[in-house]
Amino acid sequence: MVYKGITSPQTIISLTNGTQYYFKFFTRIGNVWSSGIETSATPTSASLASDYYRSIATGNWNATATWQSSHDGINWVNATLTPTSSANTITIQNTHTVTATASVSADQFTVNAGGQLTVNSGQTLTIADGTGTDLTVNGTLVNSGTITTTGTLAFGSGVFINMPRMVAQSQLLPGM
């Protein structure tokens, strides 16, 4: 990119997240150019509360390292926020265990087969009532805390559920 002018700052668009880019800046006085200075930058996309979220590893719900986010559900980046009920969807993927170590609210939330959600003692998972099924469990749900819901819950066949404490005002859809 070549820029000639005095307007500051300049914005460069259409860069790929996670790709390192190198820049060299020059000044000119009359016909004489400086030798320039070099720098590099790696762009990242910040998560939005309304993004799609999926687990990328086993970890705590409130740790960004546990999650990836996507504005479109296709292109994924490491999350800079953790998911809440404002998220478009939330998915715990196969082989990942996500633990709620702090109280959290979720909606449009799925635990895939082979995945696990654990709610720790003293914590509350609130399932918000949004459009469609609000919690779908095809994996494992372990509740040592409290799950509160006014939404619709669906449980797949062969699901393991350990829930000694649940406050429900919801529609349960067993054996999907």
* Residue 84 to residues 24, 32, 67, 131, Cα–Cα distance (Å): 41, 56, 12, 15
- In the chain the first and final C-alpha atoms are separated, in Å, by 55
Tokens encoding 157 = 């066949």
Query: What are residue 174's DSSP bridge partners?
Result: 155
The whole-number pLDDT of residue 164 equals 58
Contacts by residues 97-101 (CB-CB < 8 Å, ≥ 24 positions apart): 97/58, 98/55, 98/58, 98/59, 98/60, 98/61, 98/66, 99/59, 99/60, 99/61, 100/60, 100/61, 100/62, 100/125, 100/145, 101/60, 101/61, 101/62
The whole-number pLDDT of residue 123 equals 96
- Burial class of residue 101 in the structure, from the number of CB atoms within 10 Å of its CB (0-12 exposed, 13-18 middle, 19+ buried): middle
The whole-number pLDDT of residue 156 equals 86
Query: Where do the structural domains in the chain lie, given as residue ranges?
Result: 52-174
pLDDT along the chain (176 residues), means of 10: 73 82 88 92 89 98 97 93 97 98 97 96 94 92 90 81 54 47
The whole-number pLDDT of residue 76 equals 92
